[in-house]
Structure 1
Amino acid sequence: MPKVDLDAINRNILRQVQDDGRITNQELSDRVGLSPSPCLRRLKQLEGEGVITRYVALVDPQMVGLGVTAFVRVRLDQQDDRHLAAFEDAVTGFSEVMECYLMTGDADYQLRVLVESLNAFEDFLRFKLTKIAGVAQVTTSFALRPVVYKTALPL
């Protein structure tokens, strides 16, 4: 996807909605120095161009009982398109997998997994992840606590 050229006002709009996705158009226009109509037009254009893809609420995992964060590196026994696609299709369906990246280096994939307990992680590992055809090696590190966690892009 090509990069979209953003002027200073559009960057400011993006910073503001990344900070507060529920900001009113009036408050947004005040913060970026535009009247409400052109501000709303710019916001809708950013949405239409796919720069803003969606709005979400950030939920504290601890508060909903998901206190264990695991970073899982997975190596497949074969890295052809068929095996990569099969793995990606499988992990897409696992609610525990919050992020999955195709990687370079000693692992083929890196996953961020959230579960409620170590027992739940063991079940995820034994009954889901290692059941995917082609998984050759799994290495897990558990997060002790987050130090930096950002959702806003540095614009």
Structure 2
Amino acid sequence: MKDIDRLDRKILRALQKEGRLSNLELADRVSLSPTATAERVKRLTREGYITGYSALLSPEKLGRNLLVFVQVKLDRTTPDVFDAFAAAVKRSDDVMECHMVAGGFDYLVKARVAGMEAYRQFLSEVILPLPGVRETHTYAVMEEIKGTGYIPV
């Protein structure tokens, strides 16, 4: 991959803040012609700098008010257990993110559910039956201070 320049960074920043910009609006914001802007966006996408677009949804409006983080410790850390765990997590719509981490536990799972009753069901039906799970610790979010997917460019 080649290095990206100042204009590429401006494009990435603009699209990260407002992914629905038309090419004309984007070109205006970064002071380029629409043709040059479109070509840069195509190249940035082709080279993997832009991986997709999505809408940000309201968890409250959709009845997903409870955000939880679950630390998961496995009973053994072998490639087959890691693979089985990852495949099972990917099948759950409640899991928003799952990260293998270094430290005192193996995975950190971020999930959004309707409430505490839904969380108990999620824990017993999704997390605990996952391959190799030995122990979990749950942290329910009382207040979200900052939530962003923004990456400094």
TM interval, short-chain normalised: over 0.9
Q: How many residues align?
A: 153
The Cα of 1:150 is off from its aligned counterpart by: 1.2
* Aligned: 1:136 with 2:134: yes
What residue number does 1:90 align with?
A: 88
Q: Which runs of 5+ in 2 are unaligned?
A: none
TM-score by length of 1: 0.96
Aligned identity (percent) is 35
Write out the 4+ residue segments of structure 1 that deviate beyond 2 Å after TM superposition.
none
CA RMSD of aligned residues (A): 1.0
Q: Which amino acid aligns with 1:68?
A: L
The Cα of 1:91 is off from its aligned counterpart by: 0.6
Structure 1 distance, partners of 2:54, 2:75, is 37
Structure 1 distance, partners of 2:12, 2:131, is 41
The Cα of 1:4 is off from its aligned counterpart by: 5.0
1:22-42 Cα offsets, whole Å, 9 max, x none, are 101111111101011101100
TM-score by length of 2: 0.97
1:95-144 Cα offsets, whole Å, 9 max, x none, are 10000000000110001010001001000111121112310000000101
Q: Which amino acid aligns with 2:95?
A: V
Q: Which runs of 5+ in 1 are unaligned?
A: none
What residue number does 2:111 align with?
A: 113
* Aligned: 1:46 with 2:71: no
